[in-house]
Structure 1
C-alpha cells in the first residue's frame, strides 16, 4: 500500500507493508538497516509489536518485489498490511509456537537445574558422581540449547548479516559460550558446568517473549473491538432480500438490517425513520433517531424495526476500516523517544561484545585461570542483552494506544503522546464540537390569528425533502410534537441555502427561508423582531404567518470538562466563524470568558490565533474550514461527526460525542509519556550498571541471566500497568451525552 508525500509528489512517496518472521526488536532494526542500503530509499521504520513496515523514498524504489527481495535475503517475508483478523491469527500462532518451546524448555531444563543443584549443594557422595551429574545436566540441556534455542540462533544470524547484531546475537553467543565452557570443563574433568545458565537464559527469555505477545494481543483486540462485520448480509433487490457474502456488496447496493443487528457497512438510510444505538462506537447508551437520507456508519446497532441501507462504502473502505488502516500507518512511525531507544540498543550489542572480549583478555593476562576468565566474559555477554531497551517505547506506545481506543480516542500519530503530554493551550470550534452539530428549535412565534401547531405543521410540510440543517431541525421538532402527517407536496423550488418555495397538494403556496429572502419575495416582515440565533420565517399565500428561532445548546458536561482543563493550567479559547452574539452565548454557557471567545473568524484568522496561543497547542474542529487550524495547531483533533477530510488530516479522532475525549487524551498522553521515560530510564540504567559490575567483579552467569530478565520484565510490567489501568476512562466521562450520527455536521 503506497501513498505520495504532500511535499513533493514527484520524488517522495511512502509504502506500508507487514514483515513476517520477526522475532524481536533486533530483527526490526536489521530489516530497517537492510532496506536503508537500497538506492532510492530515504527512511525505513519497523514497528515491532504490530510487525508493520513504513518505507519512504522514490516511488519506483518502493515497489514490493524489490523490497521483498531485500528482506528475503535476511530470511524474513514481506507482504501487504495485515487485516486485524490476520494479525490476530499470526499472534495466536506465535503464542502457540512460543508455548510449545517454553514447555519443552521447562520439561528438560527442570532436570538440568536439579542436576546442577545437586552439584552446587555437594549432595553427591563422591566426585565421580558429581561428574556423572554434570553429564546428566548437559544431556537434558541438549534439547533446550538446540530445538528451543534455534529461533535465537536464526534471528542472531540474520541480524549479523545485516550488520545490526542485537539481543538475539548476544543470547546466541551467551548460550553457546555457556555450553562451550561447560564442555571444556567436562573435558578437563571438572563438574563445575554452566548448562543451567544456557537453559535459564533461553527459558526466561521465552517467558518474556510470551508476555510481549500477550501485550500485543491486547492492542489488537482493542482495534478489532471497533467493528467486526458479519460474513453475510441481506442484499435488498426487487422481490425481497437475498443472502450474499459481505464482499459481494458494492456501493449503491441496498441491504436490509434487521432489528438488533449491527450495520455492516457505511451508507445512507432509505425510506423510513430508524432508531440507532451508537454504543459500539461511542459507549453511549441513548439511541439516536435518524431520518431518511441520514449518513450512518458501520458498527451502529439497529434498535428499531428492520431498515434498508444504501451502501456508500464497500467492505474495507468504511470509516472504521480507514481508522484501522491509519493506525497501522502511524504505528510504523517513530517518535523521538523511540529513535533514542533504537540508537541505544544499536550500539549496546557491539559494545557488550567488545567488553566481553576485553574482560576475557584482561582477566587471563592478570593470571586468573582460563576457565574463570571465560565465565566472567560469559557474564558480561548475558547481562548486556538489550531486550528491555528495544521494548521500552513500543510496548508503552501500544499499551497507550489500546487504552485510548477503549476510551473512544483514536491516536494516529505516535508523536502525539509526546506532544500532547506538554500541551499548554486548547482551542475549540463551536458547531459540531461543543454543540451536537445540529440546531434545535428554541422558540416558535406565530403571527396574530395563527396557532403554533398550525404553523409547525405547515413548516414541516414545507421542509420535506430538504437536507438543510435548519429544515431538518424543524422536521424533528414537528415529529416530537406528534405532527407526522405532513400534507403531500406537489411542487418544490430550492434557492441555495436561502429558502424554498413549495406548493402543497391542497393548493397552498408556502415560502420558508431567511428574512432577507422572504423580503425579496415581497413578504412584509419588517415588523418582526430579529434574534441572536438563527431564524427561519414562514409565509403562506403571500402573508407572513410565523417565525422559528433556532440555535445550538452545549453538549452535556462540556462546562465541567472545560473547567477541569483550565484547572490543569491550559489556556482555553472558543474560535468560530459564527455570529458574535451566538458565540458569546455559548461561551457563557460553557464557562468561557468573553475575552476567550472569538467570533466571525475566517480559516486564516483561526490559524493566526492558534499560532499566537501558548505552544504546544491543541485545536478541535470538525469542518473543512477548520483544516488550516488543525494543521497549524501542534495537535489537531477531529470530533465525532467530523467530515472525512478532517478525520484523515487530524492526529487524534474522537469516537464519543463532546470533548470528554480531549481530557482523556491529555491524561493518557501524560501517563504514556511518563511510562515511556520510565521504561527508557530503567533499561538504560540497568544495562550501564550491570555491564560495569560484570566487568569489574565476578558475577555468576546464572545471576546475570536473572538480572537481565528482571530488567526486561520490569519494562513489560510497567507498560502493562498502563494497558490494564482503569483510571478516569469511565468515571470522568459526562453522563447522558447524546449520541449523534456520524458525518452529519452542517
Structure 2
C-alpha cells in the first residue's frame, strides 16, 4: 500500500457556514455604493457582530457572529440586525442559502411604468429643442409637465436622500434630488422674475427655463435603474437555474402504493419513484431499475451517466429513459444541490479583496462631489457668468457623478464569472479564490483519482519461492488484511479475491500505520500464527532493512516501467494472538512473502489538461506517494514538467510550501489539485486549492476542502478554472477602469461647462448599465 493511502481528518461539513456562526440577509432599498457603507456601519454597531459585509450587486448582507449562537440566541440577534437595517432606512429579511433567491417584488408599472410616464411628460419638453425652438411651450405648460415628474416620480430620490441624511451619510439619491431640485427651483425663480419684470419687452419673450433638464434627468435615472435591475437579475440566473431543479412534488411508495406528496414531506429512508423525463427530487441511491441520468446542470458533464442498483443519485438530475426506484439518503439543506446553491450564493455574497478598496473610495465619493459642485457654482459665479449659468453647471456636476458604477464594477463581474463557472461544473467557494487563481504560476496534481481513474486493479502478484506459500494463499492473506481499509488499492485486492471466489481467513489486531500500510494477525493455516503486513516500499525497507531485492529486480523493473504501483506482503515469525509487531519495533524476523502490482488507467482528458496549462504559461508538477519509477512513468506519459514521488500525505503540504518559495527566492503562486480527502492539508496550504469530486463519493467533502471544487473528475476543468478566473479578473479591471474613468473625466467636463444637465443625466444612467452589461459578457464563456 502506497504512502498516500491514509486519509487525514476532514473538517465537519458545513462548519464554516453553519447558521450558528453567520446569517445572510436580503437587503432592499440600496441605490449606490454609499448605501452599502451605511448598511455595513449599522450592522457592525450591533453587539455580537464580528464582521458584516454587504454586496450591492446581490443586495445581500453576510453577518458573522463573534461566537457561535444557539437557535434562540441567533433568532434574537437576527431580529436586532433587521431592526438596525430598518433604522438605517432600508428593508431586510433573512435569506437561507438553500432557499429561493429573494427578489424585490415590484409590479412592472412600478419600474417601467414610471419610466413610461416620465418619458410621456419629458418628450414634449425635449422635442422643440431638437427643432431649435427652446422656448416653444409657455412656462405654465413646462411647469405642468415637469412638476409631476419632479415630485411624484422623483419622490423616491427625496425619500432615500433624506433617510441617508438623517443617518449622517450621502448617496446617489441626494445628488439626483439636489441637482434636479436646483434646476426646477431655478426655473421657478426665472419664471417668477420674468412675470414681474418691468421690462416692456418681457411680455413678448419667453424666459430661459430648465424644467426640461429636471424632468429628463429624473426620467433617464429611472430608466438607468430599470435597466440596471434587469441586468442585475441576469447575474443571478445561475442560482435561479439551480433552484429550479427541485420539483415541487414527488411520487413516494408507501403502504397504500404510489402517492404524490410535496417534496418537503420526504424523509431520509423513503422510497421514491422517478419516471422517465422527471427530475431526481433529492439525493439517494438506486434500488431498482437502470438507465441513464442527465447531470449536466449540476456537474457540467455533457453526456448522461449510467445508473444501476446501488448507484448514487443526485437531486436535480434528469432521469432520461427508464423508471427508477430510489431510497432517499439526504433531504433539504443536506443535499448536494443545496450545497452547490449555498456555495454559489456565499461566493456571490462575499466581497472580493479589491472591492474593499473601492468601498473606501465610495465612502467619500458623495461628499467630494457635493464639494466639487459647490466650488463649480461659486467659481463660475465669481468668474462673472452669472448665477444662472453657475447653478446649471453645478447641477451638471451633481447629476453626472455616479457612485453606482463603482459599487457594481467588482460584484457584477464576480457574480457573472461564478455563475458561468458553476454552469460548467466549476464551483468557486469565495471571490478570493477567484481573484488569486488568475495569478497561478504552478499547478500541482495528486495522481490517484485526479490524473488517473482512481479505480486501480490488481494486475499481477509474485510469491517468494523460498517461503513455500502459493499464490492463492498470498492473495487470501492480503485480502483479509485489506478488509480493514477503504483505500482504492484495498478495494482492488478484495475485488480480485471475490472474482476468484476465495474465502478469507479470520484476521485480528488490524492496525493501520499512517502513510505506510496495514498489518494484522492471521488465523493459523498450518499450526502457526503469523503477523502479516501489507504496504509500501518505504515500509518494507523499514521492516526488512537487510532484505535482498535481487530476486524481485526483474519484476520490479518491468512493473515500474509500465507505471504500476507496487505493494509488499510481509510475514513475521510466530506472534501471540491479538498482537502484531509494529513498525517501531521492527526486527529482522520480518520476511518478504509476495510482491503485488496495481494498475490504474490515466484519465483520457489528463494529457489535454496538462497541455492546456502549458499553453497558459503554467508549470505543472505531480506530487505522489507512489514509487519514483511508476510516478515518473506517468509524468512522462502526460508531459508533466516535475514529478515529486514517494511523498507521505502529511509531507505534501511541505512540498507545496517549497514550490511557493520558488527558485532563487522568487515567490510562486501555486494551485493544488486533489480529491479533497487525502490531500486536504496540501489543498489548504496552496494559494488556490482545487478539490476534484469523484463518482465513488466524497464530493460533499470536496465541497469543504478547497476554494474551488471541480464537480466532475475531468482534469481539463483545471485550466478552465484558471481561464474563467483570468477573464473575470479582466472584467473587474475593465469595469473599475470605466467606473473611475467615467467619473474622473465626466465630473471635470461638467464642471467646465462641457455638458448640460440632460446629457449628464443620460451619461450617468448609462454608466451603471454599461458596467453590468460588460460583466454579463462572461455568461457567454465556455469551458
Identify whether the pair has TM-score above 0.5, normalized to the shorter chain: yes
The within-5 A match list for 1:141-540 is 141-189=146-194, 191-226=207-242, 228-238=245-255, 240-270=257-287, 275-290=292-307, 292-303=309-320, 305-440=322-457, 469=488, 531=559, 532-533=564-565
- State the partner residue of 2:89: 75
Quick one: structure 1 residues 599 and 298, their matched pair in 2 at CA, closer, same or farther if it must change by over 3 Å? farther
- State the partner residue of 1:616: 669
Q: Secondary structure at the match of 1:367?
A: coil
Query: Does the 8 Å contact 2:414/2:728 carry over to 1?
Result: yes
Q: Secondary structure at the match of 1:142?
A: helix
- State the partner residue of 1:735: none
The alpha carbon displacement at 1:83 in A equals: 6.0
The alpha carbon displacement at 1:65 in A equals: 1.2
Q: Secondary structure at the match of 2:26?
A: strand
Query: Does the 8 Å contact 1:28/1:48 carry over to 2?
Result: yes
Quick one: structure 1 residues 372 and 428, their matched pair in 2 at CA, closer, same or farther if it must change by over 3 Å? same
The alpha carbon displacement at 1:719 in A equals: 1.8
The alpha carbon displacement at 1:346 in A equals: 1.9
Q: Is 1:605 equivalent to 2:621 in the alignment?
A: no
1:35 to 35, 43, 47: 43
Query: Does the 8 Å contact 2:297/2:317 carry over to 1?
Result: yes
- State the partner residue of 1:716: 772
Q: Secondary structure at the match of 1:50?
A: coil
Equivalents in 2 of 1:332, 1:650: separation in Å? Answer: 18
Query: Does the 8 Å contact 1:4/1:13 carry over to 2?
Result: no
Equivalents in 1 of 2:776, 2:272: separation in Å? Answer: 42
Quick one: structure 1 residues 91 and 440, their matched pair in 2 at CA, closer, same or farther if it must change by over 3 Å? farther
Quick one: structure 1 residues 153 and 84, their matched pair in 2 at CA, closer, same or farther if it must change by over 3 Å? farther
- State the partner residue of 2:526: none
- State the partner residue of 1:121: 133
Quick one: structure 1 residues 285 and 343, their matched pair in 2 at CA, closer, same or farther if it must change by over 3 Å? closer
Q: Secondary structure at the match of 1:218?
A: helix
Q: Secondary structure at the match of 2:62?
A: strand
Superposed CA deviations along residues 439-493 of structure 1, whole A, max 9, x for unmatched, are: 35667999xxxxxxxxx9xx99xx99x98746876999999xxx9xx99999999
Segment of structure 1 superposing worse, 40-49 or 63-72: 40-49
Superposed CA deviations along residues 546-568 of structure 1, whole A, max 9, x for unmatched, are: 99964222221211221221232
Quick one: structure 1 residues 239 and 376, their matched pair in 2 at CA, closer, same or farther if it must change by over 3 Å? closer
Q: Secondary structure at the match of 1:192?
A: coil
2:114 to 97, 101, 106: 101
Q: Is 1:629 equivalent to 2:682 in the alignment?
A: yes
Question: RCO greater where, 1 or 2, for CA within 8 Å and sep 6 or more?
Answer: 2
Equivalents in 1 of 2:377, 2:15: separation in Å? Answer: 51
Quick one: structure 1 residues 714 and 107, their matched pair in 2 at CA, closer, same or farther if it must change by over 3 Å? same
The alpha carbon displacement at 1:253 in A equals: 2.1
Superposed CA deviations along residues 523-574 of structure 1, whole A, max 9, x for unmatched, are: xxx999675336899xxxxxxxx99964222221211221221232222111
The alpha carbon displacement at 1:185 in A equals: 1.6
Q: Secondary structure at the match of 2:253?
A: strand
Equivalents in 1 of 2:176, 2:220: separation in Å? Answer: 11
Larger radius of gyration: 2
Quick one: structure 1 residues 158 and 637, their matched pair in 2 at CA, closer, same or farther if it must change by over 3 Å? farther
The alpha carbon displacement at 1:629 in A equals: 1.0
Equivalents in 2 of 1:491, 1:135: separation in Å? Answer: 104
Q: Is 1:677 equivalent to 2:723 in the alignment?
A: no
Equivalents in 2 of 1:208, 1:440: separation in Å? Answer: 62
Segment of structure 1 superposing worse, 146-155 or 663-672: 146-155
Equivalents in 2 of 1:284, 1:590: separation in Å? Answer: 23
Superposed CA deviations along residues 469-524 of structure 1, whole A, max 9, x for unmatched, are: 46876999999xxx9xx9999999998997999xxxxxxxxxxx99899xxxxxxx
Equivalents in 1 of 2:596, 2:632: separation in Å? Answer: 21
Q: Is 1:652 equivalent to 2:708 in the alignment?
A: yes
Query: Does the 8 Å contact 1:27/1:155 carry over to 2?
Result: no
Q: TM-score, normalising length from structure 1? A: 0.79
1:140 to 131, 138, 145: 145
Q: Secondary structure at the match of 2:25?
A: strand
Q: Secondary structure at the match of 2:101?
A: helix
The alpha carbon displacement at 1:436 in A equals: 2.8
Q: TM-score, normalising length from structure 2? A: 0.76
Q: Secondary structure at the match of 1:15?
A: strand
Structure 1: give runs of 5+ residues left out of the alignment.
125-129, 447-455, 502-512, 518-525, 538-545, 731-746
Equivalents in 1 of 2:486, 2:48: separation in Å? Answer: 50
Corresponding residue pairs, total: 673
The within-5 A match list for 1:663-742 is 663-697=719-753, 699-723=755-779, 725-726=780-781, 729-730=782-783
Structure 2: give runs of 5+ residues left out of the alignment.
1-12, 195-205, 464-474, 513-517, 522-531, 537-549, 570-593, 661-667
Equivalents in 1 of 2:493, 2:104: separation in Å? Answer: 52
Equivalents in 1 of 2:413, 2:636: separation in Å? Answer: 40
